[in-house]
Amino acid sequence: MSAFGTSDTGRPQSTYSGEVAQQFIMPTINVPSRRPFTEAGKGLGRLKLLVAGVGKTALIRTITQSCSHIVHVDPTVPVAMASKGFLPAKTMPNSPPISQGTFQITETLASTKPYPSWWKDSAFSSPTPAPIQPEDTILDRNICLVDTPGYQETCRPTDTMGQVSQYVESYLQKSRLDGLEDPDVLKTISGSGGLLVDAVLYMIPSSGLSATDIHYLRQLDALTNIIPLIAHADTLTLEQTAAAKKHIAQQLAEADLGLFSFDPSTDGVGEQHIYAASSELVSDSEVMDASLLMSSEYEVIAHLERICDEFVKRVARKREAGNEALIRDARGKIFTYGSFRLGVFGPGSDIDTLVVAPKYVTRADYFEIFPNLLKEMAPPGSITDMAVVADAFVPIIKFEFDGISIDLIFSRIAMLKQLNKDFTVQDSGLLRGLDEAELRSLNGTRVTDEILSLVPEESTFKLALRAIKLWAQRRAIYANIMGFPGGVAWAMLVARVCQLYPKAASSVIVNKFFHIMRRWPWPQPVLLKHVEGGPLQVRVWNPKLYKGDQFHLMPVITPAYPSMCATYNITRSAMTVIQQELSRGCDITDNIMLGKSPWSDLFVKHTFFTKGYKYYISVITASTDKEAHKIWSGYVESKVRVLVQGLEQHQSIALAHAFNKGYERRHRCTNEAEISQVQAGSFSFLAKDSDVKEEDFEQEGKIEKVQPVETKPDLSGIPGLKTEPTDDAHGLKTEENETQPGVKTEGVKSEDEISKAPSQIPKHNPYTDVFTTTHYIGLTLSEGAKSLDLSYQVENFKALCTQWEKYDAVLNSLNVQHVRSFNLPDDVFEANETKPQKPQKKRVIPNANGAAQIKKRSASEENQEPPAKRQQASVTAAG
């Protein structure tokens, strides 16, 4: 545990919520059964912390859950009681958990490292070692967290104080060399730490110390170090917390009680602080919790490794059935990359995973065997939502494993017929003989590992990156496919700042990030190291050699050979938005560093829909089949950036800002007229969660293909509805809907009609489900814009999408239309957000004669050309 700011865990030790003070946060996650080892964790010695006061158990749970260096936590066990006081009980690490009573002292043992490989064979090895792990590793229980009983008004506080003091003192007596057992002597003289209670975390109510607390602290202060914490600080404002700290510090000074200092000053008297602890439960994303690298995700990786080995063995049998040596030694390798590999994996994130196989395994084998093998070897029901995309730019299998999203790509190693257990992909020579898809797949892991190797302090980098990633997501500038930097690009930008400030803390890195990137002389590239040549005849980023590389606006170059631009698709408008957000980040973090603003100000949600723009373009993809819609909407999403680039060329548009995600909706229709209205943008038939059941899709009678009715939607609304022209602030003629779009006016059969045609009644499901995905583009008009004809840009975009070989005019449709801010659907706003309102028309005030006053036009206005006639600029793709 460390002072506020950051800790060695790479996790923030404080957060803000409005005017709430800095706090230690109590996360809501489950205790993991096993985390991966960290280098910092392996270097930790032995530590025993005793917690007393208010909220003790919650604090211990926080430490075990949120510290990424703790790889395993044993069940809590009680300390045995003897007639002459408390003595440590020798309990088995795997003893069943025992409920903590009010008057019990309990111990929770945790591990950050394994014993040395020689320890398990040593005569001094622990009499109760941890069970053998999958890799034959014995865990060293080097962390001990001691929970103590509280004192109530109905019991004698002196009893509790005496028990806790005797517990601490018993270890002081036990630590004398003549009283230590051989293993304890070895640990002590080797510098690993001993059995002493190193510090007491004393939880104090905000009202201050009672006389009992002071008496308790005096007893403990004579035996060990005291770290005071204000409990339940989430209920206090900054001013209240500051006042409580000042009051408690004064009480401690008057009682002549010293505080433990985290400041390693040379004179032995460092700066002393009182810290605040929160009992508030917050979501992981709000505190950028690094503890999400939990056992569930790593169990999934372990499952995938076993499936990968079996996959390679099956291919080996298929290729050389009689080669027992090849089959016996056949194995594949699983590598992660992206956010998971970087240690900034967050809620809802995908785990980017690479399958590597020997040279005799082909991509065809992968897509033929691996999907079925996943379902065969994984626990029943654990594999869901599988999608195999063999012809993608990077061929991929997407699925969920026990609710965790996995993106699985493949590459073989053309140079090797067998992979060793310690095989890595860092050798550039392994890229020989690979096609472009395999090269792109393999380079994801290589780039991630290279980034981690190039930063001075990995923990500082990870915490700063987690902050920048959360900031980019909250500000809606995190999406490679929509023309913004993706996860790897943001990681490289943060890594470059870490290189420039190798000794800076994470908070300083975040502040410097905004200042440096705002002033970066684009298009000068961001490089973590010089671009290297290699053994292959492949393209390496070089604007002097390749003309296409000269058009990259904000080039961020990957460090692994062959170097590529990770931000090649950033648009001019996206660059403008990014620079605006960087300027905002500069101002906010400067105030944060001066103590004028809380960190929460940096992570305030974007205002794209609430205040961002008056005019929007909505791109609506629709399908009457769920699986077909995934493919169709995904393809259109990848082309939205092309529409944005076309809009940027329009003389009346100053900026076209694509929102970084689409909105998926599900509609239930009873006839083709309703389907047509949904395709045109109607929300009148949205399906409620309570009305939709998965079994509806299994029943007969569902219309698989519905011929869409030809419509002519334009950029001013849904066709067939009453509209009227109005003048907006720019003098641009637009049209708004005066009625709810998509109101049903036909297509509902009467009872008489149904009775005359019983054969037309569906046997099971009378509904057709229509799936839509809508992407929004905010528009800023050029100064003085008088017309807005987008028919050319929209027609080109439509042609690009509908000429796709997998486009099905019967199943799929595409519509592009104009939306005013006050006509945006409700589901793009959160509960606490205010939806823009339609401006009220100004009343015409009659003059003294009863006639309306008419403002005379100026001379400049009289000579202006009349505005061009507004043209329709949207068509239906499935006409």
Residue 711 has pLDDT above 50, yes or no: no
Per-residue pLDDT of 730-751, as tens digits, reads: 333 333 333 333 333 333 343 3
The rounded distance, in Å, linking the Cα atoms of 139 and 129 is 7
Amino acid identity at 791: S
Q: Regarding predicted confidence, which is higher, 330 or 172?
A: 330
Question: What pLDDT is recorded for position 223?
Answer: 85
* Residue 256 shares a structural domain with residue 305: no
Q: Does 281 fall in a domain?
A: yes
514 inside domain: yes
Read off the pLDDT of each residue in 379-395 and give the average, rounded to a whole number.
84
- Report the pLDDT averaged over residues 358-383: 92
Active-site residue, selected from the candidate residues 14, 66, 111, 339 = 339
Q: Select the more confidently predicted residue: 187 or 595.
A: 595
428 is catalytic: no
**pLDDT class of 156 with cuts at 50, 70, 90:** low
Measure the CA dihedral 775/778/782/783, to 10°.
160
Asked if the structure places residue 805 within a domain, the reply is: yes
Which pLDDT belongs to residue 15? 34
Residue 56 lies in a domain: yes
User: 606, 634, 649: which is the final residue of a domain?
Assistant: 606
Residue 672 is encoded by which pair of tokens?
């083709």
**Residue 661 within a domain:** yes
> Which of 73-87, 369-383, 403-417 is the least confident region?
73-87
Same domain, 341 and 321: yes
Per the CB < 8 A criterion, the answer to whether 579 and 586 are in contact is no
In which residue are the tokens 């309102």 written?
837
The CATH code of the domain that includes 515 is 1.10.1410.10
pLDDT of residue 29 exceeding 90: no
The last residue of one of the domains, among 578, 606, 634, is: 606
CATH of the domain at 310: 3.30.460.10
Average confidence (pLDDT) over 805-832: 92
The residue that leads in pLDDT, 72 or 477, is 477
Neighbour-count burial for 193-232, b at 16+ CB within 10 Å, e otherwise: ebbbbbbbbbbbbbeebeeebeebbeebbebbbbbbbbbb
Catalytic residue among 16, 167, 366, 478: 478
- Tell me: do 340 and 312 sit in the same domain: yes
Report pLDDT digits (tens) over 189-247: 443 445 688 888 888 888 888 888 888 888 888 888 888 888 877 677 778 888 888 88
Q: pLDDT at position 282, please?
A: 41
Q: pLDDT band for 853, please (50, 70, 90 cuts).
A: low
Q: Tally the domains of the chain.
A: 4
Segment of 234-248, 260-274, 601-615, 753-767 carrying the highest mean pLDDT: 601-615
- Examine the residue annotation and report whether 256 is marked as an active-site residue of this protein: no
Beta strand pairing status for 615-623 and 768-781?
A: antiparallel
Question: Based on the domain organization, do 371 and 444 belong to the same domain?
Answer: yes
Mean pLDDT of the region 684-690:
79
pLDDT band at 388 (very low <50, low <70, confident <90, very high): confident
pLDDT tens per residue, range 58-68: 778 777 777 87
Q: Which residue in 352, 365, 449, 769 is the catalytic one?
A: 352
Kindly report the CATH number assigned to the domain that includes residue 736: 3.30.70.590
Q: What is the pLDDT of residue 689?
A: 62
Q: Cα separation of 189 and 601, whole Å? A: 49
Residue 683 pLDDT greater than 70, yes or no: yes
d(CA 450, CA 562): 12
What is residue 261's predicted lDDT score, i.e. its pLDDT? 65
Domain that includes residue 791, residue range: 614-743+766-862
Whether residues 601 and 633 fall in one domain: no
- DSSP character at residue 601: G
pLDDT of residue 825: 94
Would you say residue 756 lies in a domain? no
Q: Which of 48, 462, 469, 614 is catalytic?
A: 469
pLDDT at residue 130 greater than cutoff 70:
no
C-alpha to C-alpha distances, 548 to 240, 479, 489, 539, nearest whole angstrom: 59, 22, 19, 12
Given the residues 8, 198, 407, 601, the one annotated as active site: 407
What is the C-alpha to C-alpha distance for residues 419 and 771, in angstroms, rounded to an integer?
45
Residues 231 and 91 in one domain: yes
Q: Let me know whether 185 and 146 are in one domain.
A: yes
- Shared domain for 283 and 349, answered yes or no, is no
The answer to whether residue 389 sits within a structural domain is: yes
State whether 467 and 429 are in the same domain. no
pLDDT, tens only, 501-542 = 999 999 999 999 999 999 999 999 999 999 988 778 888 999
Same domain, 128 and 84: yes
Pick the closest to residue 619 from 330, 446, 813 (CA basis).
Answer: 813
- Which one of 400, 429, 449 terminates a domain? 449
Name the average pLDDT for the chain: 75
Is 568 assigned a catalytic role?
A: no
Q: What is the DSSP letter of 876?
A: B
Q: Is residue 801 over pLDDT 90?
A: yes
Per-residue pLDDT band at 36 (split at 50, 70, 90): confident
712 contacts: CB under 8 Å, gap ≥ 6? 719, 872, 875, 876
Is 688 one of the catalytic residues?
A: no
Higher pLDDT, 30 or 108: 108
Instruction: Please report, for the domain that includes residue 167, its CATH number.
Output: 3.40.50.300
**Helix 506-518 and helix 458-474: axis angle, to 10°?**
60
Pick the more confident residue, 41 or 193. Answer: 41
Name the band, by pLDDT with cuts 50, 70 and 90, for residue 69: confident
Total residues belonging to the chain? 879
Q: How many CB atoms lie within 10 A of CB 639?
A: 15
Asked whether residue 873 is domain-assigned, the answer is: no
Active-site residue, 469 included: yes
Q: Is 350 a catalytic residue?
A: yes
The residue that leads in pLDDT, 393 or 815, is 815
Higher-confidence residue of 612 and 69: namely: 612
C-alpha 366/C-alpha 307 separation (Å) is 12
- Please give the pLDDT value at position 141: 79
Q: State whether 737 and 802 are in the same domain.
A: yes
If asked whether residues 585 and 629 sit together in one domain, one would say no
Mean pLDDT of 853-878: 42
Instruction: Give the sheet arrangement for strand 383-389, strand by strand.
Output: 333-337, 351-357, 404-412, 396-401, 383-389
User: Residue 80: which pLDDT band, with cuts at 50, 70 and 90?
Assistant: low
Q: Give the pLDDT band (50/70/90) at residue 155.
A: low
